[in-house]
Structure 1
Amino acid sequence: MRYMMTYDLMETVRNTNQWLGASARSLASYPMFAMAPNPVFSWMAAWGEVTERTYQRMIVKPDWGIRTFTCEDGKDHLVEIETVVERPFGDLIHFRVNGRKTQPRKVLLVAPMSGHYATLLRSTVKSLLVNCEVYITDWHNARDIPVSDGKFDIEDYTLYLVDFMRALGPDTHVVAVCQPAPLTLAATAYLAEQDPEAQPSSLTLIGGPVDPDATPTDVTDFGRRVTMGQLEETMIQRVGFKYKGVGRKVYPGLLQLASFMSMNSDRHSQAFVDQIQRVMRNEASDHDAHNRFYDEYLAVMDMPAEFYLSTVERVFKNREIARNEFVVAGHKVDMSKITNVAVKTVEGANDDISAPGQCVAALDLCTGLPDSKKASHVEPGAGHYGIFAGRSWRDNIRPLVIDFMNANSKGGAARKAANTNAA
């Protein structure tokens, strides 16, 4: 499957289905058919509308949709997204609220590079904007990155995080969500050895596979069963001529999406059947619950092949992070060198992707860190998504994270008292 022909075939299928949906919608909406009482035309138009939107969203990067923010002065302030550090595979961006004084907490959100865009953390960003200066890693779609820009594996990812932390300075609170948790821990340890003055004030790891074997799941079992040769042969393709990254080896977003959907195929199928019925009854809207969720869920990005393969091999199979044997640019990273960066882990009791036990393993690796700077939390009843974007995050986890940041800021005690009610 490592050929452009396979990549282009998938894009052709997607494009054809989008065209079929648009054609069905246009044909069934022809005014003359309104005279016929047969409901088949209403169903056909509804099917076309849902199908066209579904397949069109697969190649569109969602917008952040954060345009204004209401501050304590009661006024709506414009939110400007500015690039702080620009790199080929990802940028560091800042959500600057115009006209608002600088907030006491500088937060770096490390978004996962796992098939979806950083906009998956949109609600997380909104909740932190209330009283934080929010920065986030905005990873690029590999199909749009020319081959001349070189490779990008987990070592490169880690070094990107190191540079982002250096750019923001030591008064930063880092929050890593899901997949980047182990690599963010490694980046912090790398800084502890190479540039101690640039270490962040605190590090919060949310639902990440620091030690995948601590609590096995379907994800970890898959990583154990499949060989690297099988993964490369079945998952890796070359970008076709349509995009700037022509010839680059990637794990295509469309292939990832097929895997996502197959895990809960019955639920997804029923969701689309229900949406077609709602469109027929004129009960659907452009921003209803179905479209809000699937506009984001279906928007997938290609992942650099070397990043995907090195993640599976080194994080899941060889457990280099869990065994404290991770090497970055020829330097062996030692987690025990983290001695003054407060570390907190957050897990969901019902997380079936990164089960409880996988993330809290980070605290055992930080042998040089005093217990007073370690914290952990397991959220009862919460799944993977809920611990960073759902009700559990809003009601319980976010206040705990904010308190943790306050307690471990420069001049922590005074700052914590000043923000007691802010969370």
Structure 2
Amino acid sequence: MMYRAYQTFANLHDPVRLFASASERVSKNWFGNFSLNPMQRLAAHYEQISLLGFTHARPDFKINSIIDSLGAEQKVREELVYSTHFCNLVRFKKEDIEGQPKILLVAPMSGHFATLLTGTIKTLLKDHEVYVTDWLNIRDIPLSCGDFDFDSYVEHIINFLKVIGPETHLMGVCQPTVACLAATAIMSEDKSSYAPASMTLMAGPLDVRMSPTKVNELATSKPISWFEEKLIGVIPSQFNGTGRRVYPGFLQLMAFMSMNPDRHAESFRKLYEYRVNGETEKADAIHEFYEEYFAIMDLSAPFYLETIRKVFQDCDLPNGKLTYQGRLVNPKLIKKTFLLTVEGERDDICGIGQTLAAQDLCSGLAGYRKSHHLQAGVGHYGVFNGKRWEAQIYPVVRNHIQSAL
């Protein structure tokens, strides 16, 4: 009923947004870009209305070229390398550039598409060949394709590392850090030649007992039965995934936004002011962020509920109880993979120490194979996107990967 009610509201609201979007374009095209023009103010209002709504379609990455570390422009080609029912493995390949380190960037499955990491990818492409897990929206996947759970997540990482080949560098951003560590531990125990050469874990909930945040407190404030009863919906019949039990993406996004409502309200206020004052570049930056931020995907109920229980409530990984396909995950068996953990000083989703915990869990690694970076002045998103990511965090990541070659 919850999902059906949401979809009914969305269906009613979409024509309003489409009208506002069309009206915005007409106002701009017919009446110019003069900040004192009343129609431009109206167009700015229309822009806000058209932007205030969710879409379940993945936006484009829009990565056609990048500026490399030498300042040269390089054309980039996006390729589908491998595909499963639940995920596409996408490669971003620079034309006429060969032999650069290969990175598997594991995107979060937390209500947004992998395109949220577009800025991360562009920066990594300066010196690397980048592969990305482009997770598909579960509401578009028929029930006949089976369920997707925590083991499925880890299995995808293991299989993708094998597809890419040996000496691949693994990077997990936020939620997938747990699965990345699990995959590396299993492959290390199996002495697989495809185990990652290095592993970068960024702003992830490896041990949520450290510096608990509001997200952690919410996950532990109710029994798992409450989450299943209150937060799980069923995909309506109009979609390919009809009948699937999911944690709806709109619930996840609203939860994130409720943590900082004043910040989002201020962003929309600035969007209007920048637009009417003719500060197009600043306005476009805010518009592009929310266009991506409001593109949402649903999560498989088994995966979501297992993540709540295993990662946030029972802390299976730091307690030495995490399993993969019935096998105990033992990070102590990681002996060769270089490890870098990265945290943000102002992260209100993954507190300080939660990612650093991987350093102690991977006690089998020699000291010279482990390093940690705490970035001052950034929140969760700033760990992997924005000016400080590009200018201060990325050089640490690049040097970490170079040390493992």
The TM-score, its normalising length taken from structure 2, stands at: 0.90
| Corresponding residue number in structure 2 for 1:194 | 190
| Corresponding residue number in structure 2 for 1:322 | 318
| Corresponding residue number in structure 2 for 1:416 | none
Counterpart-to-counterpart distance in 1, 2:282 and 2:367: 50
Which stretch shifts more, 303-312 or 383-392?
383-392
Show structure 2 runs of 5+ residues with no match. 32-36
Question: Which of 65, 89, 96 in structure 2 is aligned with 1:92?
Answer: 89
Question: Which of 146, 164, 168 in structure 2 is aligned with 1:168?
Answer: 164
Over aligned residue pairs, what C-alpha RMSD do you find?
A: 2.5
Write the mapping of 1:49-60 to structure 2, written as runs, cut at 5 A: 49-55=47-53, 58-60=55-57
Counterpart-to-counterpart distance in 1, 2:20 and 2:359: 56
Kindly indicate whether the alpha-carbon contact (under 8 Å) linking 1:90 and 1:138 is maintained by their aligned counterparts in 2. yes
Q: Structure 1 47/72 Cα, relative in aligned 2: closer, same or farther at 3 Å?
A: closer
Displacement of 1:52: 2.1
Counterpart-to-counterpart distance in 2, 1:375 and 1:83: 33
| Corresponding residue number in structure 2 for 1:80 | 77
| Corresponding residue number in structure 1 for 2:108 | 112
Counterpart-to-counterpart distance in 1, 2:250 and 2:290: 14
Counterpart-to-counterpart distance in 1, 2:210 and 2:43: 50
2:137 aligned partner, one-letter code: N
Displacement of 1:273: 3.9
Displacement of 1:20: 2.4
- The reply to whether residue 15 of structure 1 matches residue 11 of structure 2 is yes
Partner SS state of residue 375, structure 1: strand
Kindly indicate whether the alpha-carbon contact (under 8 Å) linking 1:143 and 1:243 is maintained by their aligned counterparts in 2. yes
Displacement of 1:395: 1.3
Q: Structure 1 273/393 Cα, relative in aligned 2: closer, same or farther at 3 Å?
A: closer
Counterpart-to-counterpart distance in 1, 2:259 and 2:401: 36
For residues 137-160 of structure 1, the C-alpha deviation after alignment (integer angstroms, 9 at most, x for no partner) is 111111111111111111110111
The TM-score, its normalising length taken from structure 1, stands at: 0.87
Kindly indicate whether the alpha-carbon contact (under 8 Å) linking 2:139 and 2:241 is maintained by their aligned counterparts in 1. yes
Instruction: Flag as ranges the 4+ runs of structure 1 deviating above 3 A.
Output: 21-30, 39-49, 69-78, 273-287
Write the mapping of 1:330-345 to structure 2, written as runs, cut at 5 A: 330-345=326-341
Partner SS state of residue 200, structure 2: strand
Q: Structure 1 27/299 Cα, relative in aligned 2: closer, same or farther at 3 Å?
A: closer
- The reply to whether residue 205 of structure 1 matches residue 207 of structure 2 is no
Q: Which has the larger radius of gyration?
A: 1
Partner SS state of residue 115, structure 1: coil
Displacement of 1:227: 1.4
Displacement of 1:174: 0.9
Partner SS state of residue 229, structure 2: helix
Which stretch shifts more, 39-48 or 368-377?
39-48
Write the mapping of 1:34-73 to structure 2, written as runs, cut at 5 A: 46-55=44-53, 58-70=55-67
Displacement of 1:199: 1.0
Kindly indicate whether the alpha-carbon contact (under 8 Å) linking 2:271 and 2:283 is maintained by their aligned counterparts in 1. no
| Corresponding residue number in structure 2 for 1:302 | 298
Partner SS state of residue 83, structure 1: strand
| Corresponding residue number in structure 2 for 1:259 | 255
Kindly indicate whether the alpha-carbon contact (under 8 Å) linking 1:80 and 1:98 is maintained by their aligned counterparts in 2. yes
Counterpart-to-counterpart distance in 2, 1:101 and 1:9: 51
Q: Structure 1 324/19 Cα, relative in aligned 2: closer, same or farther at 3 Å?
A: same
| Corresponding residue number in structure 2 for 1:216 | 212
Displacement of 1:211: 0.4
Displacement of 1:51: 1.3
Q: Structure 1 288/241 Cα, relative in aligned 2: closer, same or farther at 3 Å?
A: same
Question: Which of 180, 185, 188 in structure 2 is aligned with 1:184?
Answer: 180
Kindly indicate whether the alpha-carbon contact (under 8 Å) linking 2:206 and 2:358 is maintained by their aligned counterparts in 1. yes
Counterpart-to-counterpart distance in 1, 2:333 and 2:269: 54
Counterpart-to-counterpart distance in 2, 1:257 and 1:93: 25
1:372 aligned partner, one-letter code: Y
Show structure 1 runs of 5+ residues with no match. 410-423
2:107 aligned partner, one-letter code: A
For residues 146-183 of structure 1, the C-alpha deviation after alignment (integer angstroms, 9 at most, x for no partner) is 11111111111011111111222231111111111111
Partner SS state of residue 154, structure 2: helix
Displacement of 1:376: 1.1
Q: How many residues align?
A: 396
2:86 aligned partner, one-letter code: F
| Corresponding residue number in structure 1 for 2:403 | 407
Counterpart-to-counterpart distance in 2, 1:220 and 1:400: 28
Kindly indicate whether the alpha-carbon contact (under 8 Å) linking 2:322 and 2:328 is maintained by their aligned counterparts in 1. yes
| Corresponding residue number in structure 2 for 1:421 | none
